[in-house]
Amino acid sequence: MAASFFAPSRMVAVVGEDFPESYTTLLQSRGIDLSGLTRQKGRTFRWKGRYAQNLNDRETLDTQLNVFEDFQPTLPSAWISSRYIFLGNIDPQLQSSVLDQVNSPVLVAADTMNFWINGKAELLSHTLRRVNLLFVNDSEALELAKEQNIVRAAKKISAMGPKWIVIKRGEYGAMLFLEDQIFTIPAFPLASVFDPTGAGDSFAGGFMGYLALAKEINERNLRQALVVGSVMASFVVEDFSLDRLQTVNDLQIRERFRAFKNLTHFDDLSLDLLRVAS
Amino acid sequence: MAASFFAPSRMVAVVGEDFPESYTTLLQSRGIDLSGLTRQKGRTFRWKGRYAQNLNDRETLDTQLNVFEDFQPTLPSAWISSRYIFLGNIDPQLQSSVLDQVNSPVLVAADTMNFWINGKAELLSHTLRRVNLLFVNDSEALELAKEQNIVRAAKKISAMGPKWIVIKRGEYGAMLFLEDQIFTIPAFPLASVFDPTGAGDSFAGGFMGYLALAKEINERNLRQALVVGSVMASFVVEDFSLDRLQTVNDLQIRERFRAFKNLTHFDDLSLDLLRVAS
């Protein structure tokens, strides 16, 4: 959904019989190709959690895999030429199996989490070797790299495969590790955050969609993509579910991009101040 | 010490008989006016703590007020015209007594902490009414405002007096709340942080020194001051005590300012991408 604001999008996923028709209609209304969406006997994946009052920490109360449990992502044969791949946060073996089904993509990005870092380290390391860009939370990055410092962790993760690493820091924003540079963006300061669920996925969606729109993958576009991801995430948390993404428009997206500029911009030191008074 | 890189600096403080002569010599070598420094019978203030492995959280193991216990800051009479005042983190009543000794300063900034927020709320609120700019940690800002959200907290604190509020967020950087704008800066990502002690004070020192150098207090200079504060803090944590500030030079300060620019800069959306593809 977040990606569809910027580029034609395709989705591979599985849902159960309980999945509301209104959502597939919604996704289609944004031009998202759902030929990779399987509807299957049983119930859709469900997650239930409780957020701490700071909305940054959350506790899982219940996870029901349901139809997700035996999910084998199968791409429609026409999708073999898909160019921008985002591997959602699932079993690294399944992530690899998706890559087996595409032919020389331009960019392969992946998300992962502590569950796979601890439980399927070897399979994850196999997948990471095929990934160009990794999205990961800060605490999970430290776990993955067995480090205490995020700069050293990113360097180590980069040696595992991904050329670029996006560290998600919740209310503190995100960092992008390029080869020899670091770019940071704060989270958009909102006076009220309604529901942070899905912020990370919308972030990745906006990021990937913008890169596809910008076409060339270079430092300039990667930096802008991180801002666009933050823009989309900042809208999603303003309401439940996809509600805010149903009302947001292009003008508001561009305005918030500019608001991020105002939030982070400062002028170079003036020439007459360049000689610091020591 | 951090301020002295940018503007002539004066210090009001008390030390005991145990305070090493080498430090007063060091401060004087940077042109800092120490006529407000009292040397008194007894021992200097001491703090002992333990940092968590993330270096963001710390636990106080021992605090000895010593000569600081009966400290009554007295300004040399010539300092009545001091223009940029930074009230260090002490009893709000003493902060007020310093303000009683100066004549129409250009800027009054103050630091405070949970100890005074909880213990001397009324005196603190009295001081805050006389303060233009408050430096405060994020958790302390929430406590002071009795809020869960930092944007709402800053608005409330502003209603207590300070026109501008700097929220310090440790490894996550800092936020500056201007009247109707917010500016953020990340902490400088270092592969190894040696000792975070004194980072907040060096931050405030660099901030105040730069504002005095820039002369005019406007949005542009306040934003730059936040960056300069972050620059000075990023040097201090590279070594123990004032060690790094003894070796850092103007060129390195300017280079790190530019590094902060590179860390946060992104280009505006290109004209041909301005019409988001929806």
**In this complex, do A182 and B149 lie within 8 Å of one another by their Cβ atoms?**
no
Structure token digits, residue A244: 């805010």
**In this complex, do A224 and B269 lie within 8 Å of one another by their Cβ atoms?**
yes
CA distance B227 to B174: 9
**In this complex, do A266 and B6 lie within 8 Å of one another by their Cβ atoms?**
no
Q: Which residues of A touch B253 (CB under 8 A)?
A: 276
User: How high is the pLDDT of residue B276?
Assistant: 55
Phi, psi of A21 (to 5 degrees): -55, -30
In chain B, at which residue ranges do the beta strands (DSSP E only) sit?
10-15, 33-39, 46-51, 58-64, 84-87, 107-111, 133-137, 164-168, 174-177, 182-185
**In this complex, do A249 and B277 lie within 8 Å of one another by their Cβ atoms?**
no
Residues of chain A with pLDDT below 50 are 277-278
Residue A197: DSSP 8-state: T
Q: Which residues of B touch A261 (CB under 8 A)?
A: 266, 268
Out of B181, B224, B269, closest to residue A269 by CB: B224
The type of residue at A133 is L
Q: How many CB atoms lie within 10 A of CB B240?
A: 12
Structure token digits, residue B9: 């600096």
Q: What is the interface pTM, i.e. ipTM, of the complex?
A: 0.93
**In this complex, do A223 and B263 lie within 8 Å of one another by their Cβ atoms?**
no
Tens of each residue's pLDDT in chain B, 278 residues: 999 999 999 999 999 999 999 999 999 999 999 999 999 999 999 999 998 877 777 888 998 999 998 999 999 999 999 999 999 999 999 999 999 999 999 999 999 988 899 999 999 999 999 999 999 999 999 999 999 999 999 999 999 999 999 999 999 999 999 988 999 999 999 998 889 999 999 999 999 999 999 989 999 999 999 999 999 999 999 999 999 999 999 999 999 999 999 999 999 998 666 555 44
Q: Which residues of B touch A193 (CB under 8 A)?
A: 149
**Contact pairs from chain A to chain B, CB under 8 Å:** 136
What are the start-end ranges of the H helices in B215-266?
219-236, 243-247, 250-264
Bridging pattern class, strands B33-39 and B10-15: parallel
- pTM given for the model: 0.94
The SS3 of residue A28 is helix
Inter-residue contact B80 to B104 (CB < 8 Å):
no
**In this complex, do B266 and A53 lie within 8 Å of one another by their Cβ atoms?**
no
Over residues B76-101, the pLDDT tens digits come to 999 999 999 999 999 999 999 999 99
User: How high is the pLDDT of residue A272?
Assistant: 63
User: How high is the pLDDT of residue B271?
Assistant: 63
CA atoms B222, B227, B228, B232: torsion sign: positive
What are the start-end ranges of the H helices in A129-249?
138-145, 150-159, 199-214, 219-236, 243-247
Out of B191, B264, B276, closest to residue A6 by CB: B276
Out of A150, A184, A190, closest to residue B264 by CB: A184
Bridging pattern class, strands B107-111 and B133-137: parallel
CA distance A227 to A214: 13
Inter-residue contact A1 to A242 (CB < 8 Å):
yes
**In this complex, do A269 and B250 lie within 8 Å of one another by their Cβ atoms?**
no
Q: How far is A263 from chain B (nearest CA, A)?
A: 5
Over residues B114-156, the pLDDT tens digits come to 889 999 999 999 999 999 999 999 999 999 999 999 999 999 9
User: How high is the pLDDT of residue A278?
Assistant: 45
